[in-house]
Amino acid sequence: MHRKNSIANLNNTPTKKVNILMVDDHPENLLALEAVLISPNYHLVSANSGKEALKCMLKQDFAVILLDVQMPGLNGFETAKLIKAREKTRHIPIIFITAISQDMEHVHQGYSVGAIDYIFKPFHPATLKQKIEQFVKIIQNHEATIIQSDKERSVELNDVNERLNRATLNLRRTEALAKVIGETIIDTIVTFDEQGFILSVNPAVKSMFGYNAEEMIGKHIVMLFLKMNGDNEKHSSFSIFFSIKQAVGKVIESVALRKDESHFPADIQIGETTVEEQQIFVCTIRDVTGRKQIEEVKKQKLTNMEHVVKERTLELLQANEKLQKEIEERNKIADHLYVSQERFRKIFESSPSLMAIFSIEDGTIIDVNTSWVNFTGYSYDELGNEKIDLQYFVDESNGNLIDFQKIIRNKKISYKAKNGEIRAGLLSTEMIDIHPEPCTLIVLTDITERVHLEKEMYRLDRLNLIGEMAAGIAHEIRNPMTTVHGFLQVTRNERDNLPMEIVDLMLEELNRANSIITEFLNLAKNKVSVKMKQNLNTIIEAISPLIQAEALRSSKHIILDLGKCPDIFIDQKEIRQLILNIALNGLDAMSTGGKLTIKTYVAEQSVILEIKDQGVGISPDVLEKIGTPFFTTKDSGTGLGLAICYSVAERHHADIDIATGDEGTTFSIRFNSNHAV
């Protein structure tokens, strides 16, 4: 009859609202679900993420969870795993709703994490609503069953209470059972009176203390203890007994004393009761040697751990200090880099040379300075990120276009400005990397004005040189002409046959004038040179007997040091004249016994001819005028020998260098490698 009344009350219980949790990171999807499921019987709760859904489940219970699969952060599968891992929420039904993947793999994954259904978007509203209603009914029936079970459990508890009341009548039997337990328990149980005298002990006292039960009866309880509370000092019997009585209802640590005077750590627990108006104490003694050993091991491990932590902390502090130093060093480097960048920017912008940064990959100009804009006439907008026109930059030595992907050092070029003007400059380039694009730094020094000035100076020098040469030619030719003119005047007046001596003298003077004119013509720049591929050593070996004979006449020596040289384009006659002029000048500059060395070798892809004498050297004032036509230090010289040598070198694109000192003079003729074969 009681069970029937309970079921009747359950059926009369009013229905309460059911909580439904909707989880989706798109608010529009939540609004769509709310529009489908709205009902006075439902309490709809929305969550925008898996994390927010878990927070909602901590606050209230839910009958059903509608869970989106694809969400940022925790996705639907991960959120479902966390829900099923919690004991309180593991039984809540989960319905996955997704519009992303309909593969069976994802469906199986949804069921594997605890879903009871898997719905694809777009879903049918009526179908979803009916499914939710069925799940809600299942939950309501489950809750009704729980309520019914609770009421039935209450009835059972009443029955138990009645049985317990009847059990109190069997207290004697319970005491007997307690005695059995006392005899079988491994802990020592001692009862003693108010004065501390032992009334009874259980059999465990034999194995723990070594005493028989009969030996203990009537003895004082303090005989079993050395000290209390784990103190190092040994306590008096009175203090031990006082501590035992004060420990009623507590568990305290002590050191127990065996019959053989050995001791061990023990936990004691004191209980108190009154039997027939007599106060009785029950003491339970437990050997905790094993526990203490474990605690000691743990303590040792803790000490070791503290030591390790201390060492690790020290290492971390040292690493932190090192890191701080590295950070400071990096900051210094960064500051220095910033200063360097600012310095480079100022140098770049304020440099009088034209400077530009050229991208090697796409051939565009990344940046130019103000001088570039001023000299070329192009604005920043016209140059920025535009491809550089290589036809505007020409190598003056060969007329080829400049390759900005190679390193160049002070190459003389011509470039074209915006207004069409062709300007001259010295070009240098350097390869650099900019984040991390390979680029070329172009530095162009405009020398247009200097070139104009040099041309003007060259023109004036030529006029001056022409004047000096005219005076020299007039002086050199006038002397023989004066002699011939005088003799002809004498012949005109006397009308007699001239003596042969006078005729020979006039012919000699005319030949001298013709020789001066011939040597002077060798200085002409437009003289045609017949150049052929031939070896310089072959020419030297051919004329060496002539030089050797001239040296022997004055008791001097010739040394040939001819290295292996490639063939070059040269005019044999002109090179013979150059070698003879310099070699004979070297022999004239030396005293008896001197040595003249003719040496050839290759250096830096150039063929070098060196002619070295052991004379007294050339004075600075004479060195400045060497190569000037009609300048000579000899009494019978014309002053055209070295001038002809310089003219020959120029026609062969060669350079003449002079090194002189007290130990002699060295003439070095460097033939350009571009003309070597």
Q: State in Å, rounded, how far the first CA of the chain is from the last one.
A: 129
Q: How far apart are CA 528 and CA 651, in angstroms?
A: 9
Tokens of 215: 């030996």
pLDDT at res. 608: 92
pTM of the model: 0.31
Tell me whether residue 161 is exposed, middle or buried, using C-beta atoms within 10 angstroms of its C-beta: 0 to 12, 13 to 18, 19 or more: exposed
Helix and strand tally (H, E) in the chain? 19, 24
Q: How far apart are CA 611 and CA 370, in angstroms?
A: 50
Q: Helices in 95-235 by DSSP H: which ranges? A: 104-112, 125-167, 171-184, 204-209, 213-216
pLDDT at res. 8: 43
pLDDT in tens, 355-397: 888 888 887 888 888 888 888 888 878 877 677 777 788 888 7
Pairing of strands 354-359, 198-201: unpaired
Tokens of 209: 């203390």
In contact, 428 and 443? CB cutoff 8 Å = yes
Local structure of 281: helix, strand or coil: strand
What lies within 8 Å, CB to CB, of 371 at 6+ separation is 351, 352, 353, 354, 355, 446
**By C-alpha distance, which of 193, 216, 219 is closest to 206?**
216
In Å, how far are 243, 263, 367, 368, 510 from 435, measured between CA atoms?
Answer: 81, 79, 14, 18, 78
Q: What is the DSSP string of 432-463?
A: EEETTEEEEEEEEEE-HHHHHHHHHHHHHHHH
pLDDT in tens, 435-454: 778 888 889 888 888 888 87
pLDDT at res. 599: 92
**By C-alpha distance, which of 258, 202, 245, 271 is closest to 237?**
245
What lies within 8 Å, CB to CB, of 36 at 6+ separation is 125, 128, 129
pLDDT at res. 514: 67
CA gyration radius, the chain = 60
Local structure of 599: helix, strand or coil: strand
In contact, 262 and 238? CB cutoff 8 Å = no
Q: How far apart are CA 220 and CA 243, in angstroms?
A: 14
Question: 513-548 b/e with 16+ CB inside 10 Å = b?
Answer: beebeebbebeeeeeeeebeebbbbebbeebbeebe
Tokens of 320: 């932190």
pLDDT at res. 367: 84
Q: How far apart are CA 117 and CA 125, in angstroms?
A: 15
pLDDT at res. 7: 43
Residue 494: phi, psi to the nearest 5?
Answer: -85, -30
Q: How far apart are CA 648 and CA 529, in angstroms?
A: 9
Query: Which ranges of the chain have pLDDT less than 50?
Result: 1-11, 13, 524-526, 675-677
Q: How far apart are CA 228 and CA 237, in angstroms?
A: 11
**By C-alpha distance, which of 334, 341, 342, 370 is closest to 355?**
370
Amino acid, single-letter form, for residue 200: S
In contact, 255 and 265? CB cutoff 8 Å = yes
| 264 secondary structure, DSSP code | E
Task: Count Cβ atoms below 10 Å from residue 321 Cβ, excluding itself.
Answer: 10
389-393: long-range contacts (C-beta < 8 A, 24 or more apart)? 391/416, 392/416, 393/427
pLDDT at res. 6: 43
